[in-house]
Amino acid sequence: MEKGWVKTILNFDGAVATVNFYHPQSNSLPGSLLRQLANEIELAGKDPAIKAIVIKSEGDKAFCAGASFDELIAITTKEEGLYFFSGFALVINAIRKAEKFVIARVQNKAVGGGVGIASAADYCFATTHASVKLSELAVGIGPFVVGPAVERKVGKSAFQQMTVHASKWHGAEWAREKGIYNELFETADKMDEAISSLLSFLIQSNPEAMKDLKRIFWEGTDNWDSLLIERAQISGKLVLSDYTKTAIKGFKSK
């Protein structure tokens, strides 16, 4: 099977790090890719030459289908479950701790962990095709790890709506109204023009001011290092159940 990858490309004369990920199964995220993604974001966040970070996925179809079903089915112990779901915690915390703004580019549908990445970003661009769904309950688990990032943007009521109605797609305009997306565009080309325009502004902005603003944006999340690991433990336990294994196999067979 073709494997996925994570690549970082420097743009704007090295002032912008574009972290690009790909997986042949709708840009889903197995554990190895999650850790690569987190590592690339962390490295870019510590590089003083980089003024902004962009997270994007390859292609024009799904932005991210969330957790890799193949890997979920293969988990047999709580330790393996914790290790896998900790990958999402690492990505979210890498975005949170980066001392510069992280911009997400969402070209199409986002599910589960993909919604978590979009929500964790400091600013998110999307196309009108970029519907969102938290489908975790439908496969016997729940959006435990990405939940704090999503709820921080949309509020508890909308988060509950997404979580309980796990089979429902919410349109891109709904996601913009709730705060996951900041700007919407009819085409990816128009979205990319807007992203370039914002980046052109940010690389000329005071990095110390942006660093201080980033700290203010994320006030009240100092406990997330431990909180997200605790949430990963819950998912890691639930993924072992017969219910979850059967539900995931059912999704894979569709």
> Which residues, other chains included, contact 218 with Cβ-Cβ below 8 Å and sequence gap of 6+?
96
In this predicted structure, the answer to whether residue 1 has a pLDDT above a threshold of 70 is: no
pLDDT digits (tens, 9 = 90+) for 229-238: 999 999 999 9
CB crowding 185-222: b at 16 or more within 10 Å, else e: beebeebeebbeebbeebbeeebeebeeebeeebeebe
What's the rounded mean pLDDT across residues 74-84? 95
**Residue whose tokens read 């902004």:** 52
In this predicted structure, the answer to whether residue 253 has a pLDDT above a threshold of 70 is: no
How far apart are the C-alpha atoms of 84 and 226, rounded to whole Å? 16
pLDDT digits (tens, 9 = 90+) for 202-226: 999 999 999 999 999 999 999 999 9
In this predicted structure, the answer to whether residue 95 has a pLDDT above a threshold of 90 is: yes
How far apart are the C-alpha atoms of 207 and 49, rounded to whole Å? 10
pLDDT at 152: 98
Q: Considering the chain, what percentage of its residues have pLDDT values greater than 90?
A: 93
What's the rounded mean pLDDT across residues 148-167? 98
**Residue whose tokens read 């970003």:** 121
In this predicted structure, the answer to whether residue 248 has a pLDDT above a threshold of 90 is: no
What's the one-letter identity of residue 92?
A: I
In this predicted structure, the answer to whether residue 2 has a pLDDT above a threshold of 80 is: no
Give the residues across from 223 on adjacent strands: none
What's the one-letter identity of residue 12?
A: F
Q: Mean pLDDT across the chain, nearest whole number?
A: 96
Give the full edge-to-edge strand order of the sheet including 123-127. Answer: 5-11, 16-22, 52-57, 101-106, 123-127, 183-185
Query: CA torsion angle for 173, 177, 183, 184 (degrees, to 10)?
Result: 0
Of the pLDDT bands very low, low, confident and very high (cuts 50, 70, 90), residue 254 is low
pLDDT at 52: 98
Q: Which CATH superfamily is domain 5-188 in?
A: 2-enoyl-CoA Hydratase; Chain A, domain 1 (3.90.226.10)
What's the rounded mean pLDDT across residues 62-80? 94
Of the pLDDT bands very low, low, confident and very high (cuts 50, 70, 90), residue 245 is confident
pLDDT at 250: 80
For the chain, the domains span 5-188
How far apart are the C-alpha atoms of 22 and 81, rounded to whole Å? 22
In this predicted structure, the answer to whether residue 252 has a pLDDT above a threshold of 90 is: no
pLDDT digits (tens, 9 = 90+) for 123-151: 999 999 999 999 999 999 999 999 999 99
